[in-house]
Amino acid sequence: MATQHSRTAARLMISPAVILLFLWMIVPLAMTLYFSFLRYNLLMPGMEEWAGFSNYRYFLTDPAFFTALRNTLVLVAGVLMITVTGGILLALLLDQPMWGQGIVRILVIAPFFVMPTVSALVWTNMFMNPVNGLFAHAAKAMGLQPYDFLAQSPLLSITLIVAWQWLPFATLILLTALQSLDREQMEAAAMDGAGPLSRFIYITVPHLSRSITVVILIQTIFLLSVFAEILVTTNGGPGTASTTLTYLVYVQSMLQFDVGGGAAGGIVAVILANIVAIFLMRMIGRNLDA
Amino acid sequence: MGRITLRNVSKRFGDVTVIPPINLEIEDGEFVVFVGPSGCGKSTLLRLIAGLEDVSGGVIEIDGVNATELPPARRGLAMVFQSYALYPHMSVRRNIAFPLKMAGMDPAEIARKVEAAAAVLNLTGYLDRRPGQLSGGQRQRVAIGRAIVREPKAFLFDEPLSNLDAALRVNMRLEISELHQTLKTTMIYVTHDQVEAMTMADKIVVVNQGRIEQVGSPLDLYRAPANLFVAGFIGSPKMNLIGGPEAARHGAVTMGLRPEHIDLSTSDGTWRGTVGISEHLGSDTFLRVQVEGLGMITVRTGGDSGLRHGDAVFLTPQPGRMHRFDADGKAMA
């Protein structure tokens, strides 16, 4: 089928889809880029004028920017650590033969089906609330002072909420990887004198490495744009303690009506995402090679 | 040393008895082959010895020490799996070194042993490759290398050649036999291929439905099969089993005659038949002869037999080569 003719036909047939996808990506990006060089404030419609790099200058010198940058990276790294470690442990547990396996697996996956806004609301109001939350009740039952999660460690609280949402995803991917592990390899390792811990380190973890890479890459893409959880819980506060880059862009364009500044922030976020992606691919991307 | 004794060893999965209590003695340095049809429990038996399955009853002794409750690693046995079970993310070197590393051996000592094993198995040029970059025969050798570096009391092979092509299988068969001659270590080898069993074994254990049907040297089993199952299983092509009045005439319920123990003539003989399909192997020809009242009889004859489909021939059983079996399928004296 790989004749010259069929290849030309294939390119021709595939071109509408490729062109559409390309436009889909390039038009919003180009418009954002264009807006980022305009003085474009929603309070002053029709007064747009060329602003050069001043939007970028203001955005990058904003004291909130570096806090936001740090918060973004801390949030992503924290969630990744919790979900990958927790995911491996949960997957190991779920891989054991047990009664009611099917139901337990569905229960574990359930958090992934809850919308981010809803789960954030449930966590803030039912668990982390210092007066009515379950954690507060538990603390009081033990005679301790209730802890105000969202006020005292807002970023950690949001990290926990997001990690709770993404844990099922990691568990699911790692569980399927675990189930594809050849049983004879485990038995061979057992005969070779490897104890349970050695078998985990030398057989299971290398076998899982590819799936861990997939989990990290996919989650990073989504975690860089976490927004609803912050809006619903802390609004980026107190101060800028839980403001991430995404949230800062929102503040800039929607609360300060500065579309130009927001667009500049958006471009900065795109550049940051690409830097993270390059680092990730350098560090772990080779695991994806067969 | 590698003396393995099974005493009343049995295995049940739930209500299903896979292996009823059996007894078996494996001497030090012996090459023992467990042979039987698929699903007869021979692999389970091997896994019981390896410690990969728990026994449901009975005692396994290795070198006179009760090993029934010992974990696999502490039994001092090495196993070569059907799928080879190499560690795909490790180089050949690290694969072979793995059991030594787990034993906490000195790295220099490990390197020396790995090199030595690789030299024996012609793997020296491949030490830094991954298993995925090796051919089937090379993977097989890596699996064997991983087993021999440990200097185990006994090797366990679980159908190790079934994933290789026919030519390679014959080669590896010879290599394993030679390895046994060199190492003089006890080897237990599981296969469903009776040719492998006949060619490699010092002692064959014929297993059927979890039971041991007969234990003996290859020629013992060939000359004096204890029952119908062994008679039909050992030897290629299969022994002709004849029932009915012809068997009764010889005082048996079933009588068995190997294809190589029947004389063929075009002029006279005991039975008259018509040639059906003939298989020409060059050195031999196997004729399927339809005999009136007996059914299809396989006969071995020379490679240059000029007989054709439909020719009339006469068959005469060689005297003293007939096997007689009673109603229970047991061999009669």
pTM above 0.95, yes or no: no
Arithmetic mean of pLDDT, A133-142: 89
Binning pLDDT at 50, 70 and 90, where does residue A236 land? confident
CA dist., res. B284 & res. B266, Å (int): 18
Residue B237 lies in a domain: no
Give ∠ CA B16-B18-B24 in degrees, rounded to 5: 150
pLDDT of B296 > 80? The answer is: yes
Q: Are A209 and B68 in contact (CB under 8 A)?
A: no
CA dist., res. A253 & res. A263, Å (int): 8
Q: How far is CA A198 from the centre of its chain?
A: 31
Q: For residue B150, what is the nearest residue in chain A, using CA coordinates?
A: A192
pLDDT of A133 > 90? The answer is: no
**Amino acid A238: pLDDT:** 85
SS (H, E, C) A5-18: HHHHHHHHHHHHHH
Inter-chain touch B79–A207, beta carbons under 8 Å: no
Residues B43 and B189 in one domain: yes
Domain boundary among B232, B263, B291: B232
Token pair belonging to A268: 């900065």
Q: Given CA atoms B117, B120, B121, B125 in this order, what sign does their dihedral have?
A: positive
pLDDT of A26 > 70? The answer is: yes
pLDDT of A37 > 80? The answer is: yes
Arithmetic mean of pLDDT, B146-169: 89
Q: Are B332 and B311 in contact (CB under 8 A)?
A: no
- Under DSSP, the state recorded for A180 is T
CA dist., res. B147 & res. B168, Å (int): 20
pLDDT digits (tens, 9 = 90+) for B18-30: 889 989 999 999 9
The whole-angstrom distance between A202's CA and the closest CA on chain B is 9
* Closest Cβ–Cβ partner in B73, B79, B88 for A193: B73
Residue located via tokens 């050069």: A52
Q: Does A212 touch chain B (CB under 8 A)?
A: no
SS (H, E, C) B43-88: HHHHHHHHCCCCCCEEEEEECCEECCCCCHHHHCEEEECCCCCCCC
pLDDT digits (tens, 9 = 90+) for B99-128: 999 888 899 999 999 999 998 888 888 999
Helix (H) or strand (E) holding A216: helix A205-223
Structural domain boundaries of chain A? 54-288
> Helix or strand or coil: residue A125?
helix
Q: Does B20 touch chain A (CB under 8 A)?
A: no
**Amino acid B180: pLDDT:** 92
Inter-chain touch A188–B81, beta carbons under 8 Å: yes
Residues B26 and B87 in one domain: yes
The whole-angstrom distance between B89's CA and the closest CA on chain A is 7
Residues B107 and B163 in one domain: yes
Identify from B44, B48, B52, B94 which residue to disrupt to test chain A contact, counting A C-beta atoms within 10 A and taking the largest count: B52
Residues B134 and B203 in one domain: yes
Residues B112 and B259 in one domain: no
Inter-chain touch B85–A198, beta carbons under 8 Å: no
Residue B304 lies in a domain: yes
Q: Are A231 and A215 in contact (CB under 8 A)?
A: no
Token pair belonging to A217: 């890459």
Residues of A in contact with B146 (CB under 8 A): 188, 192
pLDDT digits (tens, 9 = 90+) for A197-221: 999 999 999 999 889 988 998 899 8
CA dist., res. B151 & res. B162, Å (int): 25
Arithmetic mean of pLDDT, B150-156: 90
Residues B221 and B263 in one domain: no
Arithmetic mean of pLDDT, B79-104: 91
**Amino acid A41: pLDDT:** 83
Query: For position B107, which CATH number holds?
Result: 3.40.50.300
Task: Please provide the average confidence, as pLDDT, over all residues in chain B.
Answer: 89
Q: For residue B147, what is the nearest residue in chain A, using CA coordinates?
A: A192
**Amino acid B190: pLDDT:** 93
CA dist., res. A87 & res. A219, Å (int): 13
Arithmetic mean of pLDDT, A101-112: 85
Q: Are A262 and A31 in contact (CB under 8 A)?
A: no
pLDDT of B61 > 70? The answer is: yes
Domain boundary among B177, B201, B232: B232
Q: How many domains does chain B have?
A: 2
Query: For position B307, which CATH number holds?
Result: 2.40.50.140
CA dist., res. B174 & res. B62, Å (int): 27
**Amino acid A256: pLDDT:** 83
Inter-chain touch A189–B83, beta carbons under 8 Å: no
Question: What are the start-end ranges of the E strands in A87-233?
Answer: none
Residues B200 and B267 in one domain: no
Of the candidates B35, B36, B33, B53, the residue with the CA atom closest to the CA atom of residue B44: B53
Binning pLDDT at 50, 70 and 90, where does residue B235 land? confident
Q: Are B50 and B156 in contact (CB under 8 A)?
A: yes
Choose from A22-31, B157-166, B294-303 the range with maximum mean pLDDT.
Answer: A22-31
pLDDT of A289 > 70? The answer is: no
Return all residues near A66 (Cβ < 8 A) that are at least 6 apart: none
A54-288 — its CATH code? 1.10.3720.10
CA dist., res. B160 & res. B158, Å (int): 5
Question: Which of A16-25, A44-53, A270-279, B62-71 is the least confident region?
Answer: A44-53
The whole-angstrom distance between A98's CA and the closest CA on chain B is 16
**Amino acid B268: pLDDT:** 86
Binning pLDDT at 50, 70 and 90, where does residue B246 land? confident
Q: What is the largest CA-CA distance in chain A?
A: 80
Residue B115 lies in a domain: yes
Residues B203 and B282 in one domain: no
Residues B194 and B78 in one domain: yes
Return all residues near B327 (Cβ < 8 A) that are at least 6 apart: B253
Arithmetic mean of pLDDT, B57-72: 89
**Amino acid A1: pLDDT:** 58
Residues B283 and B135 in one domain: no
Binning pLDDT at 50, 70 and 90, where does residue B270 land? confident
Residue B249 lies in a domain: no
CA distances (Å), B8 to each of A167, B227, B244, in order? 50, 22, 38
Residues B59 and B131 in one domain: yes
**Amino acid B60: pLDDT:** 92
pLDDT of A290 > 80? The answer is: no
Whole-complex ipTM = 0.81
In chain B, residues 24-53 whose CB comes closer than 8 Å to chain A: 50-52
Residues B27 and B122 in one domain: yes
Structural domain boundaries enclosing B297: 255-325
Residue located via tokens 């699911």: A172
Residues of A in contact with B51 (CB under 8 A): 191
